[in-house]
Amino acid sequence: MSYKIAVASSDGKQIDESFGSAKRFIIYEVVDGKYNFLEERIFQQEKSGKDTESSTEKCATSGSCEIEGSCNNQTAGCGSGAGEGTAKVELISDCRCIVCQKIGFRIQKQLERKAISAFDVSVPVEEALAKIAYYFERMDNHESLRAKRI
Amino acid sequence: MAKLLDKQRYKCALGAMQTVQAITRAIPVLHSGPGCAQKLSDSTGSSGYFSPNIFPCTSINEKDVVFGGTKKLETTIENALKVIDADLYVVLTGCIPEIVGDDTGEVVSRFEDADKPVIYASTAGFKGNNYIGHEQVIDAIIDQYLEKSEEKEKGLVNIWADVPYQDLFWLGNIRELEKLLAEIGLTPNTIFGYNRGIDQINKIPKAEFNLLVSPWVSVGNMKKMEKKLGLPWLHLPTLPIGAFETSKFLREVGKFAGVNEEKVESVINEHENYYYYLIERYADLFLENRVINKQFSVVADAQYALGITKFLANDLGLVPAKQFIVDDTPKQYREAITEEFKKLNFNLQADVIFETDSYKIHEQIKEHDYHGYPLILGSYYEKELTESLKGNYLNIAWPVQDKVVLDDFYAGYTGGIRLIEDIYTVAVQRFN
């Protein structure tokens, strides 16, 4: 059995980024309890969802149209509390869990809906991967965790 | 075949949070998942200055299972010390942190220099039920808080009885035992209930001896105190209910404490005179009321199964049918308890069965010939059964939904009278 773990780390060594500020996620694949680097997924700042004329106009006057646009024009945007988050959740929707330094409550709820676990910890990436792989392996094989923690 | 998990008659070891709650101004700090306290807090009489809804809790989740929850525990204790004004903080661990291996003892040891005492007890559910959890909490107080005292207070006796809240009558019972000891000139010391807290705990090592009134709960605690604090102990397995056992109780305590025999006898005499005055006056009720038939069964923990069986056989002259002990008594105590059931007056002996499976208990009650209406004293689970057998039923053991008890009690002479009142109230209601 294999699954993927998403990691928010700026240098690939330490879990040091919050879910919201992470610009990319490092994806590891775990096969039979062993984890390997799979890929890196860059988060593309969303182009203002619906390219309406008004936003194009706005672009001409404002240099930061993309950021503003993503907030103002999306119907399911910041106003409803999802927005950028939703797209980020989509980016890792095939992962079993996400490891990051901090994560907001709303995003956690969205992840929960997709049965993705969130671990907010500040530890080395290696340690996190080892512990999570151990945990899921035990869970999947219906084995007790009652053993010395690694 | 898979076993059905139903009709539990006790809680998990974390239920010992109620033992902590019974000590005035002591607060449990729970290292457990969210909801544990909620599930365990169904007993009545648990609101007040500290109630289960405000017990500090680490509310550990999946992250703490994977990465450990000790950091969260440390901040929870730290903040509990800041915002909750208590005299004693007792950290209780649930199943999860113990399974994954959090070193609670180590975290708690960081608070050695705190202004208030912080101790911990390992109360994971898989270690046993709340009777065991209760022992763990007292063990924690002995191990981590109490120190041996050279100074002794003459006549001071620590009284230990059954589990607060699990035992519906815990408060009234222990007060009545205190009263009895005081009457023969001793100074009782207990740590549970109103006006009993850290000061009483501090007095424990100064006592002359420990008095344990329970078939098995806290036997381990007594041994521990004997070893660490040098406290001798007197073990009286039977909760004294009614005149016969209570007089015996006073004589044994008096003898052990070296109280003047005359003094003890005069106290006994006074109580017995009043007790039998009442019994005499109502003798017609007892004789004429055929509703109370000859045989009875108690379905309760060891304390009440033994105490009530002795009372009904010795004082009321009823014949015991099978008695059921449902507290999952540890195996090493069972033989001694079984022997106690053979020491009844009139050469009577009672069959006692250690069983936690309600189905099996109910089947045996149904099969037994009670020579008339059965009298069943048990938990709420026995109500429907007794009704189907047209018997008389009294709710005396957890879970209790049929009775409200604030500080009523069955211990002592007065307690025996209370129990008679309760049983005959049920009996007369049948026809009225």
SS3 label, residue A62: coil
Average pLDDT rounded to a whole number, residues B406-411: 96
d(CA A96, CA B236): 58
Which domain covers residue A63, as residue numbers? Answer: 47-80
B147-206 residues touching A, CB cutoff 8 A = none
Residue B289 has pLDDT above 70, yes or no: no
Average pLDDT rounded to a whole number, residues A130-150: 82
Average pLDDT rounded to a whole number, residues B291-306: 88
Residue A136 has pLDDT above 60, yes or no: yes
Question: What single-letter amino acid sits at B172?
Answer: G
State the virtual CA torsion across B409, B412, B413, B416 in degrees, nearest 10. 50
Which range scores top for mean pLDDT: A40-44, A48-52, A57-61?
A40-44
Same domain as B122, residue B206? no
Chain A nearest CA to B100, separation (Å): 5
Same domain as A137, residue A99? yes
Residues A150, A134 contacting (CB under 8 angstroms): yes
The answer as to whether B1 is a domain residue is no
- Model confidence over B190-216: pLDDT tens digits? 999 999 999 999 999 999 999 999 999
Residue A81 has pLDDT above 60, yes or no: no
The answer as to whether B228 is a domain residue is yes
Same domain as A91, residue A59? no
Chain B nearest CA to A112, separation (Å): 12
Closest CA to B129 of B4, B19, B22, B3: B19
Average pLDDT rounded to a whole number, residues B413-423: 96
Domains identified in chain A, total number: 2
pTM: 0.88
d(CA B154, CA B167): 31
Same domain as A36, residue A104? yes
Residue A150 has pLDDT above 60, yes or no: no
pLDDT classification of B27: cutoffs 50, 70, 90: very high
The answer as to whether B2 is a domain residue is no
Residue B238 has pLDDT above 50, yes or no: yes
Average pLDDT rounded to a whole number, residues B91-100: 92
pLDDT classification of A100: cutoffs 50, 70, 90: very high
Pick from B62, B63, B101: CB nearest A149 = B101
Contact B63 A120 (CB under 8 A): yes
Q: Give the pLDDT confidence score for residue A148 in this predicted structure.
A: 54
Question: ipTM exceeding 0.90?
Answer: no
SS3 label, residue B243: helix
Chain A nearest CA to B99, separation (Å): 5
Same domain as B425, residue B288? yes
DSSP A14: B
CB proximity B59 to A under 8 Å: no
Residues B305, B330 contacting (CB under 8 angstroms): no
Q: Give the pLDDT confidence score for residue A27 in this predicted structure.
A: 96
Residues B356, B9 contacting (CB under 8 angstroms): yes
DSSP B164: B
CB proximity B54 to A under 8 Å: no
Which domain covers residue B125, as residue numbers? Answer: 13-144
Average pLDDT rounded to a whole number, residues B271-287: 92
What per-residue string of b and e applies to B21-54 under the rule 16 or more CB within 10 Å gives b?
Answer: bbbbbbbbbbbbbeebbeebbebebbeeebebee
Same domain as A71, residue A98? no
Contact A119 B66 (CB under 8 A): yes
> Cα B27 from chain centroid?
19
pLDDT classification of B290: cutoffs 50, 70, 90: low
SS3 label, residue B93: strand
**Interface A:B, Cβ pairs < 8 A:** 28
Chain B nearest CA to A76, separation (Å): 30
Average pLDDT rounded to a whole number, residues B41-46: 78
Q: Give the pLDDT confidence score for residue B377 in this predicted structure.
A: 96
Within 10 A of B152 (CB to CB), how many other CB atoms are there? 13
Average pLDDT rounded to a whole number, residues B274-282: 95
CB-count burial class (<10 Å; 0-12, 13-18, 19+) for B160 = buried
Q: Give the pLDDT confidence score for residue B201 in this predicted structure.
A: 98
Work out the mean pLDDT of chain B and round it to a whole number: 93
Strand locations in chain A, DSSP E? 2-7, 24-31, 34-42, 97-100, 117-120
User: Residue B333: enclosing H or E segment and its boundaries?
Assistant: helix B331-340
Residue A68 has pLDDT above 50, yes or no: no
pLDDT classification of A75: cutoffs 50, 70, 90: very low
Q: Which of B66, B96, B106 to mutate to test the interface with A (most CBs of A within 10 A)?
A: B66
DSSP B371: S
Average pLDDT rounded to a whole number, residues B134-146: 97
pLDDT classification of B145: cutoffs 50, 70, 90: very high
Same domain as A58, residue A107? no
- Percentage above 90 pLDDT, chain B: 83
d(CA B3, CA B358): 12
Pick from A121, A132, A146: CB nearest B99 = A146
Same domain as A114, residue A58? no
d(CA B154, CA B241): 28
Same domain as B136, residue B241? no
CB proximity B67 to A under 8 Å: yes
Contact A117 B100 (CB under 8 A): no
Contacts of B62 in chain A (CB under 8 A): 117, 119
Contacts of A124 in chain B (CB under 8 A): none
Residues B371, B293 contacting (CB under 8 angstroms): yes
Domains identified in chain B, total number: 3
